[in-house]
Amino acid sequence: MTFSAVRRAEAQRIAAERAAAEKAAAAAQAPPRPSFDSVGGAPVLIRRHPPATVRASQFFWILATFAGASAATYLFLIRKAHVPDITERVRAVDGSRAPETYASVAEILSWTVFGVIVGLLLVQIVAQVSYANRRPRTRWWMLGALLVVCALLPFARELVAFGDRGRPLAVLLIAQAGLLLLGLLFAVMPPALRWTAERHDVAARDSGPDPAAQV
């Protein structure tokens, strides 16, 4: 073997040792690669029970719906007997009109209050279904329903819900407003807000053999 061949072999050995040392140093400094074997399975949709605040808000809103339905039913039942009382109340404001005018105004007032109550019932039912499905802006619909009831109450007490027949109607409207408010207070608590913001319940599937893949 010639001297040049010995030097060439020695240089190759040194280069190989240097490359191995550099590779070992790089492997020691690099972070470990993540494993492709996951402990948990793929995330799946599950159905968790809503928090207690959500259940409380739903309970009070259901009671408010029953109160509104009772008010609408009661007003419909007493309408014919109560229209003469409303007519006298309207005549006391301005007695210079024809009698038919007062009767027509009394009918309009009675049906207007009845229509607003029924419209609020529809809004409450739709909002409750949307709230159970975690739809956004449901609380704004309930807040709007509460504001409409609060605006309707003084108008109804002045022109429709007065006297012995009208007093139960006023009580039912007040109960409806109070129950709507209680439901809103529970619906804006942090657990209820988080439950609505999540929209879906997700959990990791337990690891193990896939039942569909088993023979």
Please state the domain extents for the chain.
Answer: 53-200
More confidently predicted of 31 and 164: 164
Threshold 0.95, pTM exceeds: no
What are φ and ψ of residue 203, in 5° steps? -140, 155
Q: Please name the residue that has the structure tokens 């073997």.
A: 1
- Convert the pLDDT of each residue in 80-137 to its tens digit: 888 888 888 878 777 677 777 878 888 888 899 999 999 999 999 999 998 888 887 8
Query: Per mean pLDDT, which range of 86-95, 129-138, 146-155, 204-213 is the poorest?
Result: 204-213
For residue 145, the tally of other CB atoms under 10 A from its CB is 25
24 vs 204: CA distance, rounded Å:
37
